[in-house]
Amino acid sequence: MNALAEWMGQQLSKRPMPASEFMALALYHPELGYYRRQEGPWGFEGKDYYTALDCGPLLGATLALRLEAAWERLDRPARFTVLEPGAGRGWLGRDLLAASCGAFAEALVYVHQDDNPAARRAAEQALAPFLASGRARFEGESVADPFIGAVVSNELFDALPAQPWRWDGQAWLMEALSAEGPVWLPGDPGEAGAWFAAQAEEGLHPGDGSVWSEGLGPFVNRLGGRLQAGLFLAVDYGETAGRLLAKGADLRRYHGHTVDGRWWEDPGTCDLTADVDFTRLSVELNALAFRVIAHESLSRWICRHAPLMDWEARWMELAEAERAQRMQNLMQLTLPGLMGERFRVLEAWKDGPSQEA
């Protein structure tokens, strides 16, 4: 048994632990949490999961075009800051900086934010040339707030601790871990209960339920409040509140490229994720004067915005291995049933003073 599991076992002998508390400790315990380890979880062999960034630079190249369009829409400000919370290894920043060019590239400053030590080390490498030229920075290094530009994230909100709830036909039950194993216990969902009830279009049915991240609202408020004008873009395991309720969303565990629902096992050595309520994210953003301009699958977003003509033209110039990798990248993000359909993109826009009517 690992040290974190042992420590949690002692806590469980006193009281059951809500699943969200377990997730918070399993991922972010200061010494033993999964995202506090010295070694990163991302990648293929010997790792736990890969993200769209492991498949190649298409996501970053597409994002570069979306950000350039945002810069144009803001009347080409001299400084366009892109903050990426939960930036992990900095690969999205690397790919988008590499794909940007011309006057937009001169205005673009990318800011990496993540207090995961493995992420920081990997990002120092991935972003090295851009850090040296000042085009990339780490959070805390002279970023004036509020800024004009964008807040972008890939698989960030699914890493926020979340609590699963179920409606049993009469009352709400919360998922927890007892000394004997996972249990559903009566509890008061508070704000979450009112939200779920309002989102269940045909009323709640036994078995309906969803996940509620306590930290989502305050976090989005902090991030959105820093952006004076521009684009808020999230790529995530996003879904509408209604669909999450109907499917009875729960926590998922990733370990060694297998996924299951056994979130209570081996804390600190597995990734835990929760679906992200994009309806709620939209409501939070609306309250901050953002307007949602897109909510679609990643595959549709890529097909609409990716520089595919350019991609095709450059493809023939590449060495064979790289051509195969680019092909894989394109297929993963666009074909039915692959990664592009598992993720959704939410885009929200906030006007600057010059765009406001």
Which residues lie near ligand SAM (CB under 6 A)?
Answer: 35, 42, 51, 53, 85-89, 113-114, 116, 119, 154-156, 159, 219
Structure tokens at 319: 């060495």
Q: What is the DSSP string of 304-328?
A: HHS-HHHHHHHHTTS-HHHHHHHHH
CB 151 within 8 A of CB 143: no
Choose between 20 and 154: whose C-beta lies nearer to ligand SAM: 154
Nearer to ligand SAM, 16 or 238 (CB): 238
Least distance between ligand SAM and beta carbon 114 (Å): 4
- In one letter, which amino acid is 249? A
Q: How far is the CB of 307 from ligand SAM (least distance, A)?
A: 20
Residue 111 to residues 143, 157, 242, 341, 351: CA-CA distances in angstroms?
A: 8, 18, 34, 28, 21
Q: How far is the CB of 273 from ligand SAM (least distance, A)?
A: 7
Q: Which residue is nearest to ligand SAM (CB)?
A: 88
Q: How far is the CB of 39 from ligand SAM (least distance, A)?
A: 12
What are the tokens at 292?
């949602």
What is the nearest approach in angstroms of ligand SAM to the Cβ of residue 34? 9
The identity of residue 290, as a single letter, is F
Per the document, the length of the chain is 357
Contacts for 99-103 with beta carbons within 8 Å, 24 or more apart? 99/57, 99/60, 99/61, 99/64, 99/65, 99/307, 100/64, 100/67, 100/68, 103/76
- For residue 286 the two structure tokens come to 């609306």
Nearer to ligand SAM, 23 or 119 (CB): 119
Letter for the amino acid at 124?
E
Of the two residues 74 and 151, which places its CB atom closer to ligand SAM in the complex? 151
Shortest Cβ distance from residue 119 to ligand SAM (Å)?
5
Q: Taking the chain, what is the end-to-end CA distance rounded to the nearest angstrom?
A: 61
Residue (49 or 80) nearer to ligand SAM, CB = 49
Residue 178 or 269 with smaller CB distance to ligand SAM: 269
Tokens for 352? Answer: 């600057």
Q: How far is the CB of 191 from ligand SAM (least distance, A)?
A: 20
352 closest CA partner among 69, 73, 66, 84: 73
Cα separation, 67 vs 151, whole angstroms: 10
- Angle subtended by helix axes 308-315 and 320-334, to nearest 10: 160
Residue 88 or 230 with smaller CB distance to ligand SAM: 88
Q: Which is nearer to ligand SAM, 196 or 301 (CB)?
A: 301
**Which of the 8 DSSP states describes residue 80?**
E
Cβ closest to ligand SAM, residue 7 vs residue 219: 219
